[in-house]
Structure 1
Amino acid sequence: MSSHHFVKEQQEPALLILNTAGISFEQIAPLLEWVPTILVVQDEVPVVISWGVKIDLILAEMDFQKSHYHLLEEQYPVKFLGVQEENFLEEGLQYLIASKHGAVNIIGLDHLKVFELEPMLEFLDIVVWDGPIRYFPIKNGQFKKWLPATSLQLHAPEGTILEVQTPEGNEMVQVKHATFIEVEEGTTIIKGNGIFWIGEFMNT
Structure 2
Amino acid sequence: MSSHHIVKENQEPALIVLSTDALDSENLGQLLEWSPTIITDDYHIDFLLAQGIKVDVVITEQETHYNQEQIKRVPLKEKALVDALEYLINQQYKAVNIACDSLSVDLLRYASVINIVVFAAGKRMVFVQQSYEKWKAKGERIYVDETLLKSLVGLRKVTDNVFETEQDGFFYLGFNTDEFVAVGERL
TM-score, normalised by the number of residues in structure 1: 0.80
Q: Which residue pairs with 2:110 in the alignment? A: 120
1:77 maps to 70
CA–CA separation in structure 2 for the residues paired with 1:180 and 1:51? 35
Kindly provide the amino acid, as one letter, of the partner of residue 128 in structure 1: V
Q: Which runs of 5+ in 1 are unaligned?
A: none
Equivalence for 1:51 = 51
1:9-24 equivalence runs, <5 A: 9-24=9-24
One-letter amino acid of the structure 2 residue matched with residue 125 of structure 1? N
Aligned pairs, number: 181
Report the equivalent of 2:99. Answer: 107
Q: Which structure 2 residue ranges, 5 or more long, are not aligned?
A: none
Q: Please state if 1:198 is matched with 2:183.
A: yes
More helix by share: 1
Tell me if 1:143 matches 2:117. no
2:69 is paired with a residue whose SS is coil
Q: Separation in 2 of the partners of 1:42 and 1:4?
A: 33
Native 8 Å contact 1:18 1:44 kept in 2: yes
CA spacing shift, 1:53–1:155, aligned 2, 3 Å: farther
Letter in 2 for 1:182: E
Say whether the 8 Å CA contact 2:99–2:120 is kept in structure 1: yes
Query: Residue 45 of structure 2 aligns to which amino acid in structure 1?
Result: V
Letter in 1 for 2:95: A
TM-score normalised by the chain length of structure 2: 0.86
Per-residue displacement from partner, 1:60-92 (whole Å, max 9, x unpaired)?
Answer: 11xx32xx22x1xx211212111146x111110
Deviation at 1:109, TM superposition (A): 4.1
2:86 aligned with 1:94: yes
- In the TM superposition, structure 1's runs of 4+ consecutive aligned residues that sit over 4 Å from their partners are 1-5
Check if 1:181 corresponds to 2:163. Answer: yes
